[in-house]
Amino acid sequence: MPCPHAIEQALAAHTTITLAYVDEDGPQACAVLYATGAANDEVEAAEVGEAAGEVETADAAETGAGAVGGPVLYFVTSATTRHGRALAEPGARVAFTVQRDGQEWSALTGIQGRGRCRPLSGAERAVGWRAYTRRFPFVEADERLRAALERTTLWELRPDWLRLIDNGQGFGHKEEWQRPEGA
């Protein structure tokens, strides 16, 4: 089941995610900038399409448009931070929220979710990095910042459950999505 368009739009409308995780010291949360992307199977198809000159396919996959397997989120953080170490643990799961600050309660829109994170390397990292720098062009524009971020870890967050809260549709309006088994 494809992710509902309203959820994809809400993810694309924001830039900061608050990740909650648990490690040996207990629960903790952190905020990171993120970019949206497509599921790995579509990323692989995008890379093949790019090699064949099908740029539109690659662009759609990098933005998450029509992501049948569901959206993925990319963020940068060092693997040596507390949250980086926790996320790198086998089987580690996160809960997260995405919302804009300063919203009126009657129009509050945000996302709640759960999923798994993993560090990226090789071709997967290259695709994720393109999505990240497309979302945050100032990274490529600042040579020192780009060099610093390229040396750190790029992560993929693959949500397996998402809930959109949209009070603009009516107080407490919710729309949910769950990643299909095996996707």
pLDDT of residue 3: 92
pLDDT of residue 101: 81
Q: Is residue 155 helix, strand or coil?
A: strand
Output the CA–CA distances (angstroms, integers) from residue 76 to 31, 44, 83, 142, 168, in the order listed: 11, 21, 11, 16, 32
Element (DSSP H or E) covering residue 114: strand 109-119
Q: What is the pLDDT of residue 54?
A: 42
pLDDT of residue 103: 79
> From first to last of its 183 residues, what are the pLDDT tens digits of the chain?
889 999 999 999 999 999 999 999 999 999 999 999 876 444 454 554 454 444 333 344 344 444 457 899 999 999 999 999 999 998 889 999 998 887 788 888 899 999 999 999 999 999 999 999 999 999 999 999 999 998 999 999 999 999 999 988 889 899 999 988 876
pLDDT, residue 15, reads 94
Q: What is the pLDDT of residue 16?
A: 95
Give the span between the Cα atoms of 90 and 68, in whole angstroms: 26
CA 94/CA 159 separation, integer angstroms: 9
Residue type, 177: W
Kindly give the pairing relationship between strand 72-76 and strand 93-99: unpaired
Report CA-CA distances (Å) from 126 to 65, 133, 144.
18, 10, 19
- Say if residues 86 and 77 touch (Cβ distance below 8 Å): no
pTM over 0.75: yes
Write down the pLDDT at residue 57.
37
pLDDT computed for residue 115 by the predictor: 96
